[in-house]
Amino acid sequence: MTSTVRLPPYYENHGFQPENFSSARQPVGANAYPQYLSTKAPSVPSYVPRVATYQSSTPVAHSSRRTCTSSIKKVIIIISSVLIVICCIIAAFFIWYFVENRCLGSLIECGSSGTCVLPSQWCDGVSHCPNGEDENRCGLFPFMVVRLSGPNFILEVYSPVSESWYPVCQDDWNDDYGKIACQDMGYSADTYYYSQGIATGVGFKSFLKLNTSAENIDLYKKLYVSDFCVSGNVVSLRCIKCGLSTKNVMSRIVGGSIASLGQWPWQVSLHVQGVHICGGSIIAPGWIVTAAHCVEGQLSDPYRWRVYAGILNQNEMFLKMGHRVQQIISHPGYDADSKDNDVALMKLEVPLTFTDNIRPVCLPNPGMTFQSDQQCWISGWGAEYPGGKTSNNLNYATVPLIERSRCNFIDIYNGIVLPTMICAGFLKGGVDSCQGDSGGPLVTYENSLWWLLGDTSWGTGCASPNRPGVYGNMTVFTEWIYKNMQANR
């Protein structure tokens, strides 16, 4: 962190390291979605009113009787016409409904043939559809692509059959299914938090429902598309208890402030040979997010690194062993010159044990949007002035997001801020990340949780006017992160 506003010669913001690492380190900063209807039309009573006739001792004028009979006929005609129109409308509705919804109730439509089968017949090893869709689709229905959407963590599953994402109806859903979905995103069942139903959004027109009649088959083979969700709720799934901090944060800090223990429990210090090189963020017990430029060249060897979590002071880290790194995965699209896709994952040999001082931050979900000027926080052990040494204490500061188009103004970064990057800082300068902060978190607080928006990537100078920090856009990288967590679980 830095609070000085100096105007050094133009240079890219390189992370601080001792001399033997100076050639391996690169710049810091980063920018950025049955009903159950009767199969028969209800019958409508149809009748002709009868007028009772009887003998009367009192004579009735002929003209008067003719007028009364005429009025009754008119009423009968009107009522009959109305009833006929009503019957036609009802009949037309049911004809339309049967054409559009050939499979009523809990039946599943085979395909273009219009044949309907029971859910228990779907994926049961016997072909019931004319073209075998009920069995052929079983190879496709392990959609296998799951994600959490929006700030409420709505579970969505991708179907390659319709090439669409569907929310999952809560009907018959339970935590056992939730754990399976979380494991398919790369999380361990040990970190599972909960699944619960929340009211469906107005944009949901179709859902995936569980076929509870299908026994002993894969979860995804039990799912089928339906236009109805009886409970009216979709699954909200939390695979890990993330985004919680035990300490409050001041609403605004100009410059930098020393952090307190538990305030940024996802922040880690990454060391090589006992020296702090970069920062990182905990996203799961065995996974750290950092910047790809931190692990270039000879620093791509995972066995050279040690990870320190839950410790504020660098001096204390020298007395600890640190956590060994088993694997380093850099984004395949990372470009060392432009800093495009500047993100990497570290997999630990032994997963972290979570405490009040060691906790994961939440990854942003598809569908979440963040506004310009949204308040964010940066933290790290970076230098307090350009070219300075790393700080012994963990510092933090608040910075607003800057719209990428604004950051690309000719007098700022002149078009070099890519969609995989986001800008944050003050155009007047004074507050910024600096050398040694690379790979560390840019977070924001929303819906009572802390979300990781970026990893510190690069910048020109530190806290200089019109040179805000640039960070890896985590909203772009979330899918890549989950895929790698799953593949290396």
Cβ(141)–Cβ(221) below 8 Å: yes
Residue 275 pairs with which residues in a beta bridge? 272
* Beta-bridge mates of residue 421: 472
Active site residue 190: no
Q: Which two tokens stand for residue 306?
A: 């040690």
Q: What six digits make up the tokens of 143?
A: 């959609």
Catalytic residue among 293, 391, 432, 464: 293
Whose tokens are 């999380």? That residue is: 187
Token pair listed for 462: 């530190």
User: Among 342, 432, 437, 455, which one carries the catalytic annotation?
Assistant: 342
Q: How far apart are CA 477 and CA 64, in angstroms?
A: 89
According to DSSP, the β-strands at 275-284 and 305-309 are: unpaired
Q: In angstroms, how far is CA 13 from the centroid of its own chain?
A: 32
Torsions phi, psi for 476 (to 5 deg): -80, -30
297-327 burial, b if ≥16 CB within 10 A, otherwise e?
eebeebeebbbbbbbbebeebeeeebbebee
Active site residue 340: no
Phi, psi of 471 (to 5 degrees): -130, 150
Q: State the first-to-last Cα distance of the chain, in angstroms, to the nearest integer.
A: 35
In DSSP notation, 69-137 reads: HHHHHHHHHHHHHHHHHHHHHHHHHHHHHHHH--S-TT-EE-STT--EE-GGGTTSSS--STT-HHHHG
Burial status of residue 282 (CB atoms within 10 A of its CB: 0-12, 13-18, 19 or more): buried
User: Which residues partner with 446 through β-bridges?
Assistant: 449
Checking 47-53 for CB contacts under 8 A at 24+ apart, the result is 48/76, 48/80, 49/75, 49/76, 49/79
DSSP code, position 393? B
Annotation marks residue 338 as catalytic:
no
The span from the CA of 434 to the CA of 381, in Å, is 9
Q: What are phi and psi of 330, to 5 degrees?
A: -90, 150
Kindly give, in sequence order, each residue whose CB lies less than 8 Å from that of residue 476, ignoring residues fewer than 6 positions away.
Answer: 32, 419, 420
Among 433, 438, 457, 464, the one annotated catalytic? 438
Which residues does the annotation mark as catalytic?
293, 342, 438
